């Protein structure tokens, strides 16, 4: 019988540990997967722009409020990626399987709570105080998104089984299939086509919910395949695990709170922008929507860095985690700089799809404002990459409390409070609001970089030391990889 230790496992996949090839093997599928999601967001907003300016203005505040509710459980579920990475790095396939089961139970229990927002939608947006036509559409959009809470969290929890082990091609394939189907369904449900009635902004939200359901069903089918179950004993580890669930809340809870604070702060920022007027809100929606083309794929790099850091911490080789993190930052920073140039030099090209079928008299003023806002995006994008990569690295090791504290102080002291005071004492000014937003993002980049350089994360992990130190049986690769047709 051969015994393998953490030192024997030298890499995630066939590439040398800490190399660019290893990073790219994990990161590129995640970037492409995230890019498909951002493309879907862009397509959705383009269709809503064609439908009406009010629908476009309503989608972002309603969507960001929904994400404020979703972010805490979403952040906890996404932290399963770190558990899977560290347990896989430590050679504990049974704990990997048990962790995914706890994620499933968590998704079902907490996801249902999000539907409590459905009966209160009208009252919530009436209190916020946006234009009455916009508020009506906000409540419709928000209501339908809340219905999809369970599959949204479940999709995240199930994806961790693949992303945490570096098998990111499967995540890419699932997302590409779902986005391809959703793109056509989005148009049909918004405008009405064939057997589908015209649902308007409700149709856009229905499409998002359907996509989460489809992705969850596909991942469950792949995850429970015989090839996977031969290596990861899912049918033997289905019971509720109190220790694992406690650890998930302990470490993932801080990560989820950080995400909640970030999103809630951004939601408050968007509500203040909405007080300025529908046109400013619509322009901000488009600018942030185009920002997702750079921002969301870099999130994929962050997940890859978090995965590799988790693997290296599980193996007890933090020095390789440092190498992977800096390589991740060079990749993410270069990507952001390229998009910064695109936002600055060719904004009309980016705006053209939104203008194609929009009402000219409505869109002209919006387009001029978007061009200016994209310059703000270009300025802060590089620092956004810094915040994402270095923040992901320290969280991948288990340094979540610091991230939570920084998120709280930065979101409310550097973003929300200054924006509100500016609006109250100096009057409504969209560009002043965006200046504050840029300062907030730049500050986060430097804070997370400094924390990473400090190095305290090197001594952390989220799995118990006894589990990490135990020698384990070798973990054979399945004879036929899960979803080989897809990957």
Alpha-carbon distance of 361 to 347, in angstroms, equals 20
Q: Is residue 487 part of a domain?
A: no
265 lies in which domain range? Answer: 17-466
Residue 62, pLDDT above cutoff 70:
yes
Q: Is residue 30 part of a domain?
A: yes
pLDDT of residue 15: 66
Q: Using an 8 Å Cβ cutoff, are 461 and 451 in contact?
A: no
Confidence class for position 14, pLDDT limits 50, 70, 90: low
Q: Is residue 485 part of a domain?
A: no
Please count the other Cβ atoms lying within 10 Å of the Cβ belonging to residue 424.
10
Give every CB contact of residue 142 below 8 A, 6+ residues apart in sequence.
Answer: 62, 63, 65, 66, 117, 121, 124, 125, 205
In the structure encoding, which two tokens stand for residue 49, read together? 């722009």
- How many residues comprise the chain? 487
Confidence class for position 349, pLDDT limits 50, 70, 90: very high
Which of 476, 474, 477 lies closest to 5 in space, CA to CA?
Answer: 474
Q: Is residue 5 part of a domain?
A: no
DSSP state of 113: G
Q: Is 398 helix (H, G, I), strand (E, B) or coil?
A: coil
In the structure encoding, which two tokens stand for residue 285, read together? 């929606």
Residue 108, pLDDT above cutoff 80:
yes
* pLDDT tens-digit map of 433-464: 999 999 999 999 999 999 999 988 887 766 55
* pLDDT tens-digit map of 197-239: 899 899 998 998 898 899 999 999 998 899 888 889 999 989 9
Better pLDDT: 143 or 11? 143
Q: Is residue 196 part of a domain?
A: yes
Q: Is residue 186 part of a domain?
A: yes
Give every CB contact of residue 338 below 8 A, 6+ residues apart in sequence.
Answer: none
Which range, 59-68, 364-373, 455-464, has the best average confidence (pLDDT)? 364-373
Q: Is residue 90 part of a domain?
A: yes
Domain count across the chain? 1
Better pLDDT: 423 or 15? 423
Q: Is residue 278 part of a domain?
A: yes
Rounded to 10 deg, the angle between the 201-223 and 20-51 helix axes is: 150
């Amino acid at each position: 019988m051969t015994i393998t230790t953490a030192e024997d496992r030298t890499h995630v996949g066939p590439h040398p540990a800490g190399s660019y090839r290893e990073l790219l093997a994990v990161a590129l599928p995640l970037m492409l997967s995230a890019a498909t999601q951002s493309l879907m967001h862009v397509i959705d907003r383009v269709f809503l722009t064609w439908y009406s300016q009010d629908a476009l203005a309503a989608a972002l505040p309603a969507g960001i409020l929904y994400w404020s509710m979703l972010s805490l459980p979403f952040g906890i579920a996404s932290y399963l990626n770190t558990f899977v990475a560290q347990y896989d790095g430590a050679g504990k396939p049974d704990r990997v399987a048990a962790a995914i089961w706890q994620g499933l139970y968590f998704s079902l229990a907490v996801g249902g709570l999000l539907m409590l927002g459905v009966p209160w939608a009208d009252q919530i947006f009436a209190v916020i105080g946006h234009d009455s036509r916009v508020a009506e559409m906000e409540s419709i959009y928000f209501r339908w998104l809340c219905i999809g809470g369970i599959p949204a969290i479940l999709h995240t929890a199930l994806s961790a089984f693949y992303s945490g082990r570096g098998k990111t091609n499967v995540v890419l394939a699932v997302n590409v299939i779902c986005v391809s189907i959703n793109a056509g369904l989005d148009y049909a449900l918004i405008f009405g086509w064939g057997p589908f009635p015209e649902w308007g902004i409700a149709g856009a939200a229905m499409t998002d919910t359907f996509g989460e359901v489809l992705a969850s069903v596909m991942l469950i089918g792949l995850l429970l395949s015989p090839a996977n179950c031969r290596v990861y004993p899912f049918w033997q580890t289905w019971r509720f695990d109190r220790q694992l669930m406690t650890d998930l809340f302990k470490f993932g809870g801080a990560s989820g709170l950080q995400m909640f604070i970030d999103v809630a702060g951004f939601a408050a920022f968007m509500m203040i922008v909405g007080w300025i007027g529908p046109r400013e809100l619509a322009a901000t929606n488009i600018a942030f929507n185009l920002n997702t083309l750079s921002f969301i794929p870099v999130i994929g790099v962050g997940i890859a860095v978090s995965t590799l850091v988790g693997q290296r911490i599980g193996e007890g080789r933090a020095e390789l985690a440092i190498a992977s993190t800096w390589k991740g930052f060079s990749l993410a920073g270069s990507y952001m700089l390229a998009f910064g140039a695109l936002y600055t030099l060719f904004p009309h090209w980016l705006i053209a799809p939104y203008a194609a079928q929009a009402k000219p008299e409505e869109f002209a003023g919006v387009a001029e404002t978007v061009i200016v806002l994209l310059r703000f995006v270009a300025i802060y994008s590089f620092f956004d990459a810094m915040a994402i990569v270095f923040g992901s690295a320290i969280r991948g090791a288990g340094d979540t409390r610091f991230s939570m504290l920084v998120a709280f102080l930065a979101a409310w002291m550097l973003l929300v409070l200054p924006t509100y005071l500016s609006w109250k004492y100096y009057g409504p000014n969209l560009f002043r609001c965006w200046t504050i937003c840029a300062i907030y993002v730049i500050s986060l980049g430097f804070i997370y970089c400094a924390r990473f350089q400090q190095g305290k994360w090197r001594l952390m992990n989220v799995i118990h030391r006894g589990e990490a130190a135990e020698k384990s049986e070798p973990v054979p690769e399945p004879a036929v990889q899960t979803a080989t047709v897809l990957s």
